[in-house]
Structure 1
């Protein structure tokens, strides 16, 4: 289980870091018209938080006392995915495909958080 959790953490960290880099170079409206309600400053703040969460998912490899950061980072990423889902649902005429993607990522984050907090803590 430990190997599975580490693999999922690394993949989530890479996914989140790639999303953060995307957010730095593209606006919310450019990414998806339904996200136009998100201001540019909030969009960039989300990008910074994503980079920090990506680091928090991997840092315990080098320094074990930072293991508490893993479930915290996973929950933060899950909350961001749920927030994007809510904003997307409020847009008129939006499709469900991005919503499914964000909810799957949130579920993966929840599994990692639960796994590191309860099943296989470091």
Structure 2
């Protein structure tokens, strides 16, 4: 299980970092259903996503930072749920984005659960 969680963590960290760089190079106008979000929040998500991406892989350097993994995964899951809510409230009829965001949120929850209860990282692990 430990190897599966590491693979998921690295994949999610890469996904999240790419998302942060995409947000930096594109405006919120690229995703019509998220226009309700203020631009300052959109830009703040860049820093949050980069910190979360780092939090997913830093325990590879120091296992005592293991508590960062579930925290980062939960924050990313909450972001995906926020995107889903904004999409639903915008009246958009496409479902592709919702499925994508909820799948990412599900992976985040698997990582958070796995690193909290199944194969925790940290000083005691």
Shorter-chain TM-score bucket reads over 0.9
2:12 and 2:69 map into 1 onto residues whose CA distance is: 11
Q: 2:26 maps to which residue?
A: 26
1:93 and 1:116 map into 2 onto residues whose CA distance is: 35
Q: 2:94 maps to which residue?
A: 95
Deviations 1:44-99 (A, max 9, x none): 10111000000000000001110000000000000000000000000123311100
CA RMSD of aligned residues (A): 0.7
User: What residue ranges of structure 1 are gaps of 5+ in the alignment?
Assistant: none
1:9 and 1:111 map into 2 onto residues whose CA distance is: 10
Q: Which runs of 4+ in 1 moved over 4 A?
A: none
Q: 1:37 maps to which residue?
A: 36
2:26 and 2:37 map into 1 onto residues whose CA distance is: 13
TM-score (norm 1): 0.97
1:68 and 1:40 map into 2 onto residues whose CA distance is: 31
Verify: 1:49 aligned to 2:48, yes or no. yes
Counterpart secondary structure, 1:121: coil
